[in-house]
A and B are shown apart, each in its own frame.
Chain A
Amino acid sequence: MTRRRAWSVVPYLFIAPAMVGFGLFKLYPIMEGLRLSFYEVRPIARTQDFIGLANFAELVRDPVILKATVNTLLFNLAVTPVQVVLALGLAVLVNRKGRVLQAFRSFFFMPAVISLVVASIIWKLMYAPDSGLINGLLIAVGLPAQTFLTSQSQAMASLMGMVVWKGVGYWMVILLAGLKEIPESIQEAAIVDGAGPGRRFFSVTLPLLSPTLVFVVVADTVINFLLFVPVYVMTQGGPSEATTLLMFEVYRNAFVYTRFGYAAAISTALLLVIAVAVSIQMRFLRVEFEY
């Protein structure tokens, strides 16, 4: 091997650890999941029978999956925009100068550093019908107690409230970093031209924040599609499947009903749904400038 040829191998050696990690922990599980979705897996008998598209055929007829799909889409349509708008509002607020506002940065970010399991348990306790903090406060101000997680009409909204609270601080920090990236002179140029705060926000800040905003929207969407822990801890998908999300169905089919093939098929379908949702977002949120 010539010296030049030997050197040309070096870059590949540098990226090899990352590629091995990607292959083992990302690519292989995806491909294995895809393969399993065409099989009926019996873990006790240790058999795998190829059944073609049967899992997918069952999936489209399964009323629980249909309910979970609708729930997942509704959950995303509500939670992602609310989280992003609130995070943006908070980022703009704490981006202002002032010690008090800077202290609020840590305050708003705090939920992001709490374990999701712990946060789910705390909120479950807060939502408790008789002894919960929220009902205690409602009663204290003369309002009727609510059923929250035990009611079909309120459970999903209650779950959404917790998830919004948990994620908003995290996305705020990302958006704050984006705001800090916008050169001050670009804002000042608009001020000198006579633009007020509102005009400046919509005509300068928001467009220049769009690369960060696109990342936040896409990443938040993916995370919300894959949400599992709060459902598992707070509602187990109930009452009457009111809070069953697709990811929870994956878990239930795999580890409760031991239908690994069917769970893999739901995962594959979920992957496709996410891919479609993200490509729609990327199509409409294209960024065509640099600064």
Chain B
Amino acid sequence: MVEVRVENVRKTYGRVEALRGVSLNFRSGALTAILGPSGCGKTTLLRSIAGFIEVDAGRILFDAEEVTGLPPQRRGTAMVFQNYALWPHMTVFENVAYGLRLQKVPAAEIRRRVLKVLELVEIGSLADVESRKPSALSGGQQQRVALARALVVEPKVLLMDEPLSNLDAKVRQRLRVELRRLQKQVGITAIYVTHDQEEALALADTVVLMNQGMVVQTGTPQDIYLKPTTAFAAEFLGVSNQLEGEVTDGKLVVAGQSIPYTGTARGRVTVIFRASDVQMEEPSAPPRGGTVALTGVLEESLFLGAHYRHYIRLADGMVMADSPDLRRPGPFRLVLPADKVQVYGEHKT
């Protein structure tokens, strides 16, 4: 198990700065998810760690060993790709055994290790792995084979580039659980790139949130989800309501309504809160302590299975609120616990 350290890594493509001085520690034996929107630099960072991309500046270390200048094959990593990247002309067994054959491991040992790792990833029947080609397998099974191929060489670091994004939702959720089980069982340092926040939160010990080539926030999934430190983090992590406002004289004016504010932000601000934190009350209901309230008109309600999502029009915008029951359209008071309303200064990231 090794710790991966990235120190002030920079990479530019022409005028585009893909990585802008990224520094991170990937704990040994832990699964770290790099999360962010398309083009945020997460895949560039992963490929830099793998050695496929030569960085312009900075260092990459596996424990004390600097690997910045080493080619991919000398870093001791293994990679699981989004499109599986299995060799279609080889059988399942040959795919998994390829790396071991290159290491000139004796044939009997190769057989033992390949079958063991295929059992570990629960590929199903081991009887025909020596005759079946990857195209005969389902997407989920192919990704299991890809994972087995990565694990069989016992890499120092396991790198995964959106490995579940080509799979359908059901398979993705099942494999997510199994990936987590496997990573814990093997105890390998794993770095997982995804743009799916739910996947990152569900899988990772640590989540690294990236945007525009920079690290925005690092923390446990709970920290990242419950205490986003920037408007971007809050927005990206699925906090559904976002309003523009202004702070003047201890008051926050949002959607033409004034609510008390004791925070530090001043001037133009972004106000963010979750649909699930909004309580919808009659306009005549008495105010409660520790809450802030906005008034609006309910225009539409949609049944989403677990709850109803209500769309409420404010003076300059629409907000969403979730509730277990259907409400009639009309005026409502939207009550929010004061500590659930996040206010960020104008600079989003």
Interface residues of A (CB under 8 A from B): 183, 185-186, 188-196, 199, 203-204, 207-208, 210, 288-291
CA distance A291 to B50 in the complex (A): 24
Residues of B90-148 at the interface with A, using a CB-CB cut-off of 8 Å, are 98-99, 102-103, 133, 135, 146
Closest beta carbon of chain A to B161's beta carbon, Å: 8
Q: Does B78 contact A (CB under 8 A)?
A: yes
Separation of A190 and B86 alpha carbons in the complex (Å) = 9
Q: Which residue of B lies closest to A186 (CB)?
A: B85
Assess whether B52 is interfacial by the CB under 8 Å rule: yes
Cross-interface CB contact of B89 among A185, A195, A196, A289, cutoff 8 Å: A289
Closest chain A residue to B75, Cβ basis: A192
Q: Is B45 an interface residue (CB 8 A)?
A: no
Q: Which of B50, B87, B149, B153 contacts A204 (CB 8 A)?
A: B87
- Give B81's nearest chain A residue, CB to CB: A185
Q: Is B256 an interface residue (CB 8 A)?
A: no
- Nearest 3 Cβ contacts at the A-B interface: A193-B99, A185-B85, A291-B88
Q: How many residues of chain B have a CB within 8 Å of chain A?
A: 25
Enumerate 7 A-B pairs (CB-CB under 8 Å) in ascending A order.
A185-B83, A188-B50, A191-B71, A194-B102, A194-B103, A199-B102, A208-B88
- Assembly CA distance A207 to B98 (angstroms): 15
Instruction: Name the residue of chain B whose CB is nearest to the CB of A196.
Output: B73
Q: How far apart sit A210 and B103, CA to CA, in the bound complex (Å)?
A: 27
> Which residues of the partner chain A approach B160 to less than 8 Å between Cβ atoms?
none
A-facing mask of B216-231, CB < 8 A → 1, else 0?
Answer: 0000000000000000
Establish whether residues A191 and B98, one from each chain, have CB atoms under 8 Å apart when the complex forms: no
Contact A189 B73 (CB under 8 A): no
- Assess the B72–A191 pair: CB atoms within 8 A: yes
Set of chain A residues within 8 Å of B78, measured between Cβ atoms:
192-193
- With known contacts A289-B89, A289-B133, A290-B88, A193–B102 Cβ distance under 8 A: yes
**A188 touching B73 by the CB < 8 A rule?**
no
Question: Which among B73, B82, B85, B86 is the interface contact of A194 at CB below 8 angstroms?
Answer: B73
Chain A proximity mask over B263-278: 1 for CB below 8 Å, otherwise 0: 0000000000000000
B102 & A195 in contact (Cβ 8 Å cutoff): yes
